[in-house]
Amino acid sequence: MILRRTLSRSIVLTLFFMLFFSAAFKATGEDRAIGYSIDIPVLMYHGFTEEAEGGSFTMPIALFERQMEYLAKAGFTSVTPDDLAAASKGERPLPEKAVMITFDDWDPSHYELAVPVLDRLGLIGVFFVITNLVDEAQTARLREIAARGHVIGSHTVNHFRLTNKVCLGSSSVCCHDYSPCSDEEIKRELAESRQTLEQTLGTPVTALAWPWNYYNKRSVEIAREAGYRTVFAATVGKTERLDYIYRIGCSSVGDEFEKDLRERRHCTDSGLRKGERALSNLRSDFEKALTKAREPR
Range of lowest pLDDT (38-42, 142-146, 244-248): 244-248
Mean pLDDT in residue range 270-274: 42
Confidence of residue 280 (pLDDT cuts 50, 70, 90): very low
Average pLDDT over the chain, rounded to an integer: 78
Alpha-carbon gap, residue 93 to 58, rounded angstroms: 33
Model-wide pTM > 0.85: no
In percent, the amount of the chain with pLDDT more than 90 equals 50
What is the residue extent of each domain of the chain? 29-294
CB 16 within 8 A of CB 74: no
CB 142 within 8 A of CB 201: yes
Taking every pair of C-alpha atoms in the chain, what is the biggest distance, in angstroms?
88
Find how far residue 187's CA is from the centre of its chain: 18
In percent, the amount of the chain with pLDDT more than 70 equals 71
What's the CATH superfamily of 29-294?
Glycoside hydrolase/deacetylase (3.20.20.370)
Q: Report the pLDDT value the prediction gives residue 8, as an integer from 0 to 100.
A: 46
